[in-house]
Structure 1
Amino acid sequence: MEQFNRDHPGELEMITERALDNQQSLKAAIVYLKKCFNQTGGIHIYQRMDGCELDDEDGTTDGNLQFAYDGEDYISLDLKTLTWVAAVPQAVRTTQRLNQDEDGLQYQKYFYTKQCVDWLKKYLSYGKSTLQRTELPRVSLLQRSPSSPVVCHATGFYPDRVVVFWRRDGQELHEQVDPGEVLPNHDGTFQVSVDLNLTAVPQEDWGRYECVVQLKGIEDISTPLDPALIRTNGEDKSGLTIPIIIGFVVLLLTAAAAAVGVFVYKKRNGSDTSSENTEGQNPAPEAQPLTTVCS
């Protein structure tokens, strides 16, 4: 931000003024939307979410602009067809009016495919050391039991565009595997797991398999399916097995004590009514469908 302010003096003040102007526009929008949805009072939320995308490999760009009201989609802009799309009946008239504004549509296209992308490139250059860094993954082979799938687990990598797969005799496997989704770690890096089912594979053939991790900017990381490299639940290298068992026993005793306490409390208070008798009482009223269309 210090470098940004040096390169663009006065920009922060201009953005602040624009935000204050937008605040008034948003208030007016909520007044309009309350009429659309035939509402008189209460607390309401009007949201706008937009952004642009740049693929630095092929140079393609994309963008999105969408609005929501009270947590539900309201309208959105489809840049491919350059038309506004209504998500609810109350937004039909609004989209019809916006779709007649050809100049407005062309401006939105220019902004999200050119101007926004130019700013995205600037932001990437300012935060290059963080946003464009590369963190190498740590790869482990895990197995709960001898009959369980072998899991290839890669963690600690950045960015999140990683490919993890199993190979047999140099060929990528599409069967026997169960790929997982990329998940975030608490430190800003990512992790992913891919399971390999070896139920019908004799152990003497395991040497034909390997887990491969591909991350942009680094060489492929290949881990052979070697029983000596597989970590299992039966291992006690860290000495954690006994504390875990003790903790589990304590947890069971605590749960049992809590159950006894609840039973005694119910007996003392004459409350021996089953949960089935209390379910369904005072249900929340069902929301009525809104059919009003703004004029």
Structure 2
Amino acid sequence: MKTLFLLFLFCHVSSPVKHTLKFFFTASSGVPNFPELVATIVVDEILAGYCDTNTKTIKPKQDWMEKVFEDDPQHLEHYNRHCSENDPVFFKTLMDSLKQSFNHSGGIHILQRMNGCEWDDETGEVNVFVQYGYDGDFFLVFDVKTETWIASKPQAITTKQIWDKDKDRITDFKKYLTQIFPGWLKKYVAYGNSTLLRKDLPSVSLLQKTPSSPVSCHATGFYPDRATMFWRKDGEDLHEDVDLGEILPNNDGSFQMSVDLNLSSVTPEDWRRYDCVFQLSGVKDDLITTLDKAKIRTNWGKSEINGGRMGLHRPICWLLGMLSFVFQFG
């Protein structure tokens, strides 16, 4: 499928004391046996709630989120109203408008929106974000400071002009972003603190595909995803001959990452001068793994490591990921 399914909307930057609330909406056209709209609530990268146009009701995906709905029925009612009525109508109307603007009469088309907020529980600072994408490209972004929409495509200008003129909608939208969403996020963190604030250290392994391949220091099973990993030599951080991979999710909600070291110019007697260092936010002690040939797990003669979970990179077909997501969580 096209690159329109890239996770271009879902990138984030984490810091030790920041919490995030993200709402992901994916509207589709021309996709058989798939809901026209899928929406999820994600708190600190954990799936908290899910709904689609087939179920028409919000499904809590964490015990603490279920408790939120039990204690606040109006909160649950708000989500159900949006899931069954407001959001499907809005996204279908917008999808039809975009297809007309782009002269798309058939085929598969994807409309995405990510909105929410980031809250620093130490400083109290709140950042908000709203992004629309259509067929894999940025389409519209909301600038909360100027209270205007920024069009990324010529076809988005008409929508921008209409939305910019709707001052009541902008005022209501900004209120949700800057006041209501942060309040919800604080509530969710309070209810889910045993999960959201936990610290899980990973298992760390040294891996090598072939004798001439870089050595990969691979950490898996850590939580949260606010972590760093690097190689050092004689206690000094290395920046050359090092390739840092991105943080990727595991099926159990934990995370994994790798950092590769090119040893082509390193003599065997110097190997033990190198260390792999893993640091998890909120944890004082680092995990240090010394480069030791005897501890390297090789994959010689077997299927390549990159064929497994370690090979997952951003150019993933988003729709296939969402299909898997629906089957797992829907």
TM range (shorter): 0.5 to 0.7
Q: Which residue of 2 aligns with 1:224?
A: 290
Cα 1:110–1:221, aligned 2, differ >3 Å: closer, same or farther? same
Moved more, 30-39 or 12-21: 30-39
Structure number with larger C-alpha Rg:
1
Q: Which residue of 2 aligns with 1:174?
A: 239
CA shift for structure 1 position 163: 0.6
What CA deviation, in whole Å up to 9, does each residue of 1:156-211 have, x standing for no partner?
11112211101112111001211112222222222111111222222222232111
Q: Matched residues, percent identical?
A: 52
Q: Identify, as 1 or 2, the structure richer in strand.
A: 2
Structure-1 separation of matches of 2:185 and 2:280? 23
Amino acid at match of 1:155: T
CA shift for structure 1 position 214: 0.2
Find 2:164's aligned residue among 79, 82, 99: 99
**How do 1:164-203 and structure 2 match up within 5 A?**
164-203=229-268
Structure-2 separation of matches of 1:149 and 1:43? 40
What SS does structure 1 have at the residue aligned with 2:212?
A: coil
Find 2:228's aligned residue among 136, 146, 163: 163
Q: Identify, as 1 or 2, the structure richer in helix.
A: 1
What CA deviation, in whole Å up to 9, does each residue of 1:217-266 have, x standing for no partner?
221111112233223347xxxxxx8xx79xxxxxxxxxxxxxxxxxxxxx
Higher relative contact order (CA 8 A, sep 6+): 2
Q: Does 1:115 align with 2:155?
A: no
What CA deviation, in whole Å up to 9, does each residue of 1:54-99 have, x standing for no partner?
2445543322224456776543312354320224434323312332
Moved more, 59-68 or 136-145: 59-68
What SS does structure 2 have at the residue aligned with 1:217?
A: coil
Structure-2 separation of matches of 1:147 and 1:72? 39
Structure-1 separation of matches of 2:136 and 2:271? 51
What SS does structure 1 have at the residue aligned with 2:185?
A: helix
TM-score, with length taken from structure 2: 0.60
Q: Does 1:4 align with 2:59?
A: no
What SS does structure 1 have at the residue aligned with 2:278?
A: strand
Q: Which residue of 2 aligns with 1:154?
A: 219
What SS does structure 2 have at the residue aligned with 1:16?
A: helix
CA shift for structure 1 position 102: 4.8
Amino acid at match of 2:180: Q
Amino acid at match of 1:183: L
**How do 1:190-269 and structure 2 match up within 5 A?**
190-218=255-283, 219-233=285-299
5+ residue gaps in structure 1?
235-240, 246-295
5+ residue gaps in structure 2?
1-64, 304-330
Cα 1:81–1:208, aligned 2, differ >3 Å: closer, same or farther? farther
4+ aligned runs moved over 6 Å, structure 1: 38-45
Structure-1 separation of matches of 2:107 and 2:278? 52
Structure-2 separation of matches of 1:187 and 1:118? 28
Structure-2 separation of matches of 1:189 and 1:217? 16
Structure-2 separation of matches of 1:179 and 1:74? 30
What SS does structure 2 have at the residue aligned with 1:213?
A: strand
Q: What count of residue pairs does the alignment treat as equivalent?
A: 237
Find 2:77's aligned residue among 13, 16, 27: 13
What SS does structure 2 have at the residue aligned with 1:6?
A: helix
Amino acid at match of 1:220: D
Structure-2 separation of matches of 1:3 and 1:104? 31
Moved more, 8-17 or 130-139: 8-17
Cα 1:80–1:139, aligned 2, differ >3 Å: closer, same or farther? farther
CA shift for structure 1 position 30: 5.5
Q: Which residue of 2 aligns with 1:280?
A: none
What SS does structure 2 have at the residue aligned with 1:198?
A: coil
Amino acid at match of 2:118: E
Cα 1:58–1:147, aligned 2, differ >3 Å: closer, same or farther? farther
What SS does structure 2 have at the residue aligned with 1:125?
A: helix
CA shift for structure 1 position 119: 0.6
